[in-house]
């Protein structure tokens, strides 16, 4: 049951990321969770979201200088945390 | 040996060969006399060309290296197969200019020493300049078709028609210019008109067609793909490949008037050459930026 919830949360993060990184979204989110949170994607919990979003912000800032786009992406992710 | 090291070695070898061939071979007295310049002036100009080529080839090899790295990162996904072909195509396009420039530098020297080789060398230079990008664009087109199959999108009838009309116009104009090239039999091509049309003109027009179609298909893939940042990278790549095609067309058009170009004074000759080199640099920079961004998405 808990695993399903985590998988859903992970899928939601990927779903939002898909609009920004396309086919790379799944791999990108998995990488952030594994390398920065040190856990498997299916173990993602709601309380991990704050940290994950911070890391994603850092990572996306390396891909683009478009602050508006970064802020929109982060705003979309933050809605998941609330 | 790692890919990065191989790319650095290949790049260095081309630069050294080109610089050595340009600076160590004594220029013909005819060239100095034609442009009214001293040997020192010519060497300074040579150095500017070497510097420009060094920048252009760096961008070309850097773009290829990054795209190859990107392909290796995603080769097990559904995009992997088409990207394998595009990687090979970009590789051939990256080494097209260095290979033909180095080949021309040394073979032109050979012609000066042995005039009886002139025809053989002109023919081999023409075919080398044709076949490397032709093969490159064939690979790119196979890859581009694979990409649009993934997004289940086909070029529209209107799009294909516009492409064909454009190609017919530039193709007919190219045939006309080649057929009217002054001294084409014993200076520019060293082939009969029919041989030129069948073995040079037709493959070029074919290359331009598959090249433009590939650019269109990559653009369609970009439009239909999700991901703002992902799409942006493919846009840069499509523009870069498109710019390379435009340069290839312009070079062929200019080749047909090369006899007249030799009558230009030094300022105009340099202006034309620098303009081409700058355009070439822009094309490779766009490809390099697109490839680098795609790789970065998979790395951060």
Q: pLDDT-based confidence at A1, cuts 50/70/90?
A: very low
- Rounded Cα gap, residues A80 and A48, in angstroms: 11
Q: pLDDT-based confidence at A3, cuts 50/70/90?
A: low
Min distance B241 CA to chain A CA atoms (Å): 22
Per the structure, the count of domains in chain B is 1
- Rounded Cα gap, residues B112 and B127, in angstroms: 20
Instruction: Find chain A residues with C-beta within 8 A of B225's C-beta.
Output: 22-23
- Per-10-residue mean pLDDT, chain B, length 300: 85 96 85 84 94 95 95 93 96 95 92 88 94 98 96 92 95 91 71 91 96 96 93 95 94 83 83 92 96 95
- CB-based contact (8 Å) between B231 and chain A? yes
Give me the pLDDT at residue B183, please.
Answer: 64
Give me the pLDDT at residue A2, please.
Answer: 52
Asked if B290 contacts B215 with a C-beta cutoff of 8 angstroms, the reply is: no
Domain that holds residue B203: 3-299
The residue among B73, B223, B228, B235 with the most chain A CBs within 10 A of its CB, best to mutate, is: B228
- CB-based contact (8 Å) between B106 and chain A? no
Cβ–Cβ below 8 Å for A18 and B231: no
A interface with B, Cβ–Cβ < 8 A, is: 18-25, 27-28, 31, 59-60, 62-64, 69
* Residues in contact with B254: Cβ distance below 8 Å, sequence separation at least 6, in sequence order: B261, B272
- Residue among B226, B293, B296 whose CB faces A18 most closely: B226
**pLDDT over 50 at A24, yes or no:** yes
Asked if A23 contacts B79 with a C-beta cutoff of 8 angstroms, the reply is: yes
Asked if B288 contacts B210 with a C-beta cutoff of 8 angstroms, the reply is: no
Give me the pLDDT at residue B27, please.
Answer: 82
> What is the tens place of the pLDDT at every residue in A42-66?
999 999 999 999 999 999 999 999 9
Q: Domain extents for chain A? A: 2-81
Instruction: Find chain B residues with C-beta within 8 A of A54's C-beta.
Output: none
- Rounded Cα gap, residues B48 and B170, in angstroms: 33
pTM of structure:
0.91
* CA-wise closest residue to B275 among B256, B261, B291, B289: B261
B182 phi/psi in degrees, rounded to 5: -70, 135
- Residue among B227, B231, B300 whose CB faces A25 most closely: B227
């Amino acid at each position: 049951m808990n695993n399903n919830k985590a998988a859903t949360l992970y899928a939601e993060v990927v779903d939002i990321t898909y609009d920004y990184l396309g086919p790379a979204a799944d791999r990108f989110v998995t990488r952030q969770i594994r390398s920065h949170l040190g856990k498997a994607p299916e173990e993602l919990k709601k309380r991990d979201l704050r940290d994950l979003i911070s890391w994603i912000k850092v990572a996306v800032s390396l891909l683009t200088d478009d602050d508006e786009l970064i802020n929109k992406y982060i705003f979309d992710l933050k809605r998941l945390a609330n | 040996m790692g890919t990065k090291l191989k790319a650095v070695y290949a790049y260095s070898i081309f630069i050294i060969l080109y610089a050595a061939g340009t600076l160590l071979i004594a220029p013909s007295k005819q060239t100095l006399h034609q442009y009214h310049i001293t040997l020192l002036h010519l060497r300074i100009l040579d150095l500017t060309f070497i510097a420009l080529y060094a920048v252009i080839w760096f961008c070309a090899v850097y773009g290829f290296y990054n795209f190859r790295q990107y392909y290796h990162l995603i080769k097990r996904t559904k995009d992997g197969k088409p990207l394998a072909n595009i990687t090979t195509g970009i590789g051939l396009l990256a080494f097209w200019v260095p290979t033909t420039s180095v080949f021309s530098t040394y073979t032109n020297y050979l012609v000066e020493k042995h005039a009886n080789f002139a025809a053989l060398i002109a023919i081999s230079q023409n075919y080398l300049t044709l076949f490397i990008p032709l093969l490159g664009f064939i690979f790119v087109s196979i890859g581009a078709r694979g990409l649009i199959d993934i997004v289940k999108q086909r070029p529209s009838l209107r799009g294909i028609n516009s492409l064909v009309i454009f190609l017919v116009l530039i193709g007919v104009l190219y045939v006309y210019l080649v057929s009217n090239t002054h001294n084409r039999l014993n200076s520019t091509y060293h082939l009969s008109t029919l041989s030129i049309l069948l073995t040079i003109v037709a493959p070029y027009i074919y290359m331009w067609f598959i090249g433009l179609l590939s650019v269109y298909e990559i653009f369609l893939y970009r439009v239909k793909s999700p991901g703002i940042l992902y799409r942006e990278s493919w846009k840069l790549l499509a523009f870069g490949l498109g710019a390379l095609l435009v340069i290839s067309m312009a070079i062929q058009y200019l080749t047909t008037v090369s006899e007249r170009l030799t009558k230009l004074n030094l300022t105009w000759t340099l202006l034309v050459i620098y303009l081409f080199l700058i355009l070439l640099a822009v094309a490779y920079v766009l490809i390099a930026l697109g490839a680098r961004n795609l790789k970065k998405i998979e790395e951060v």
